Amino acid sequence: MSTLHIVAIIWGISVTAFVGLMVYRGTLTQHETDQLFLSESALPDAQDENEDIIRRVNFIQPYCAGAGAIASLMTIIVFSIWVAQLVAQSRS
């Protein structure tokens, strides 16, 4: 296996993890309650649910940022190795 194949596999794993985290965060924020409740008895339950969702989103936010940074770095590395191999092939 060449270096490009190994780095491409690592890139695929990092991008998959990043996309998975972003989808999970999106489903969490989709369920966030931004509604007007007419009954006062429903308000505390809705606020608790909303605070729980916000806590979860804040918990995974650093992981989303880290996975995005790793995926971006791996993209640059894969592209660089690919260009380096093309240049080496064209010179030989």
Over the chain (92 residues), what is each successive 10-residue block's mean pLDDT? Answer: 91 96 90 58 72 90 96 96 94 84
CB 7 within 8 A of CB 66: no
* Predicted pLDDT of residue 41: 65
Residue labelled with tokens 């998959």: 16
This prediction has a pTM of: 0.78
Query: What pLDDT was estimated at residue 75?
Result: 96
- Structure-block tokens of residue 6: 């190994």
DSSP classification of residue 39? S
Q: What Rg, from alpha-carbon coordinates, does the chain have?
A: 21
**Token digits for 50?**
């909303």
Give domain limits for the chain. 3-91
